[in-house]
Amino acid sequence: MNVNQKGSIGLIETIRDLTKKGYECFTPIHDYSPVDLIVMDNSFNTFRLQVKYRELFRGIIEVHFRSMVNGKARAIDLSAIDGWAVYCPEVESVVYVGKHEVDLTKGGFAFRLIEGKNSVNKDKVKRKVYTEYGDLDEWFKSAPC
Q: What is the mean pLDDT of the chain?
A: 85
Q: Once rounded to an integer, what is the mean pLDDT over residues 6-21? A: 95
Confidence of residue 115 (pLDDT cuts 50, 70, 90): confident
On the question of pLDDT at 137 being above 80, the answer is no
Looking at residue 18, which CATH number applies to its domain? 3.40.1350.10
**Percent of the chain clearing pLDDT 90 (strictly above):** 51
Residue range(s) defining the domain that contains residue 32 = 3-142
| Residue 18 predicted with pLDDT over 90 | yes
Distance (Å, whole) CA 77 – CA 27 = 17
